[in-house]
């Protein structure tokens, strides 16, 4: 499991998903250099999601490489320095995060009765945008046969980033493809008993540990190496750690 080295304003680890806790991404465009670290559950989930939608392993890896650069695939990521980017694709506040008519994740989540901070919601919204608006480049992505072309298609048409750092996106995508692009040699996601690092307690916590965050007083539960909202996890706590 990748070490949690990010600057956070919350308890949650780098793999936070459903809880409405903002995690500050430590660079203006994306998280820290992840190319030498183990891939996370979130990255595996995202890759599998797009493969299941019919994209090729190369095309799916191209998307995930972009998302790793944008947010480390953390659904609660907030752009460093107070910028407008939010979520795994860093949709902008005032735009596709909460305002663009007919095309913002806040409205999409409300219409579907789901949390905009959930990883599955954000993946579904990416697919909604790709399949609903031709300008986001699904046709270019589907015609891509190399990592470079897949990364570039999603970067230029969907992300429309400022300082893109394409070489890093390509490196991440190659890492994803090497891990999961061949089912005969694929690397499994982190085990279900993976620990979660607690900034509140200053140590790794075991599976199903429940901790009250010093950042917002809310409760979170360790689930497969990921901090989730305590009340969204069906499993019982194996220990409770209040403030």
Digit-coded pLDDT (tens) for 80-139 = 888 999 999 999 999 999 999 999 999 999 999 999 999 999 999 999 999 999 999 999
Check whether residue 139 and residue 69 sit in a common domain: yes
Q: Could you tell me the CATH number of the domain that includes residue 36?
A: 1.10.530.10
E-strand ranges in the chain read 23-24, 77-78, 85-86, 91-92, 196-198, 203-205, 209-212, 219-223, 226-229, 239-241
DSSP state of 156: I
- Look at residue 201 and tell me if it is in a domain: yes
pLDDT of residue 162: 81
Residue found by looking up tokens 């429940």 in the block:
210
Check whether residue 91 and residue 201 sit in a common domain: no
- Look at residue 152 and tell me if it is in a domain: yes
Distance of CA 83 to the CA centre of its chain: 18
- Look at residue 8 and tell me if it is in a domain: no
Q: Which residues are bridge partners to 228 per DSSP? A: 221
pLDDT of residue 150: 97
| Distance of alpha carbon 61 from alpha carbon 230, whole angstroms | 31
Check whether residue 79 and residue 114 sit in a common domain: yes
Check whether residue 35 and residue 132 sit in a common domain: yes
Regarding pTM above 0.75, the answer is: no
Check whether residue 203 and residue 153 sit in a common domain: no
Q: Is residue 27 a contact partner of residue 78, using CB atoms and an 8 Å limit?
A: no
- Look at residue 9 and tell me if it is in a domain: no
- Look at residue 49 and tell me if it is in a domain: yes
Check whether residue 34 and residue 112 sit in a common domain: yes
Check whether residue 28 and residue 71 sit in a common domain: yes
Give the residue numbers spanning the domain of 216.
196-241
User: Could you say which of 180, 213, 231 is where a domain stops?
Assistant: 180
pLDDT of residue 81: 81
Check whether residue 30 and residue 132 sit in a common domain: yes
Check whether residue 170 and residue 201 sit in a common domain: no
- Structural domains in the chain (count): 2
Q: For 77, phi and psi rounded to 5 degrees?
A: -65, 140
All residue ranges of the chain with pLDDT < 50 are 1-37, 184-187
Residue 138's closest CA among 212, 222, 56? 56
| Distance of alpha carbon 95 from alpha carbon 91, whole angstroms | 7
């Amino acid at each position: 499991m990748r070490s949690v080295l990010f600057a956070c304003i919350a308890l949650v680890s780098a793999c936070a998903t459903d809880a409405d806790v903002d995690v500050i991404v430590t660079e203006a465009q994306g998280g820290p250099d992840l190319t030498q670290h183990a891939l996370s559950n979130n990255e595996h989930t995202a890759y599998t999601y797009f493969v299941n939608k019919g994209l090729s392993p190369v095309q799916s890896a191209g998307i995930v490489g972009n998302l790793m650069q944008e947010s480390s695939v953390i659904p609660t990521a907030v752009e460093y320095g107070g910028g407008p980017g939010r979520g795994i694709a860093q949709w902008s506040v005032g735009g596709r995060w909460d305002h663009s008519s007919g095309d913002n994740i806040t409205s999409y989540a409300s219409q579907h009765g789901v949390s905009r901070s959930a990883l599955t919601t954000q993946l579904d919204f990416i697919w909604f945008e790709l399949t609903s608006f031709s300008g986001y480049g699904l046709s270019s992505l589907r015609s891509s046969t190399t990592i470079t072309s897949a990364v570039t298609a999603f970067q230029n048409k969907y992300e429309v980033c400022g300082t893109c750092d394409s070489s890093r996106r390509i490196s991440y995508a190659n890492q994803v493809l090497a891990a999961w692009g061949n089912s005969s040699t694929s690397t499994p996601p982190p085990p279900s008993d993976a620990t979660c690092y607690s900034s509140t307690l200053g140590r790794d916590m075991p599976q199903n540990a429940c901790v009250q965050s010093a950042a917002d007083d809310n409760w979170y539960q360790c689930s497969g190496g990921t901090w989730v909202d305590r009340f969204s996890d069906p499993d019982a706590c194996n220990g409770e750690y209040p403030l």
